[in-house]
Amino acid sequence: MSTFLLVHGAWHSGRCWERVVPLLESAGHRVFAPSLTGYGDKAHLLGPEVGLDTHVEDVVKLIREEDLTEVVLVGHSYAGLVISSVANEVPERIAHLVYLDAMVPEHGETAVDVQPVTQKLIDEAARSGSGWRVPPLPEMPPPFGLFGVTDPADVAWLRAMLSDQPVRCLQQPVRLDNPAVNLIPRTHIHCVGVEPEGIVRRPVPAMQPNGSPARTWELPTGHDCMITMPTELSELLLKVSLWRRPAVEQQAR
């Protein structure tokens, strides 16, 4: 049995994983899909003081309170920043990092460094009445839809869970200065075929930080693959659960 911890991206909530969680649980695994501060059941906590560090603390606190170990930590989109800093805090508890169509940072980088188009969102928020709220991206004509979701019923369901993103989440830097984090194996899952203008994905280096070959998989769907292709995504995550960390550590030595 593995423990999956699924971390949603900007504007979303833990509800976005509702189609994936039962598929992983039915395979015998333990699954957590929390909403970060400012979203879902924590939407009332949204404020200008909420930032990347807040969301990292959310996840680290959950891991420690539940005494989770051998965690397959999955970060979607913006949450690539979150899981990176989480792994930096508690590397001994993380078995695998999965960057799901996610930002993949280096130490000290912000969302703007990883995805420069993010600066436009920050500038727009600065000009708005609040000065700190970044509203969800608008729905676009097919095939782009709302975060890659085009089915009308799914779009309505997704729209109902979205909240504004605080600017601070996009401005605080990632911490990746713990050497132990480099031992954790990584998998990258890319959603391909529907890529909005201005979004640039960094190439995945041929070798992981632990010295093993990079592993990158693709799903032919839009950004929110947990909604549009939950079965296919779950199958890939189940493959990840078979990749045990000790073998990688031995290889790294």
Would you call 13 a catalytic residue per the annotation?
no
Among the listed residues 2, 13, 77, 241, the single catalytic one is 77
CA dist 18 and 238 (Å) reads 16
Given a contact cutoff of 8 angstroms between Cβ atoms, the answer to whether 88 and 181 are in contact is yes
Contact (CB, 8 A) for 40 and 20: no
Helix, strand, or coil (residue 162): coil
Name the pairing type of β-strands 133-134 and 165-166: antiparallel
What CA–CA distance (Å, rounded) separates 142 from 163?
22
| Residue appearing with tokens 């930032």 | 51
Contact call for residues 206 and 183 (beta carbons, < 8 A): no
| Radius of gyration, alpha carbons of the chain | 17
| 19 within 8 A of 33, measured Cβ to Cβ | no
- Burial label for 148, CB within 10 Å (0-12, 13-18, 19+), is buried
Structure tokens at 100: 């799901």
Segment 128-133 long-range contacts (CB within 8 Å, at least 24 positions apart): 130/48, 131/48, 131/167, 132/48, 132/166, 132/167, 132/168, 133/164, 133/165, 133/166, 133/167
Query: Residues with catalytic annotation?
Result: 77
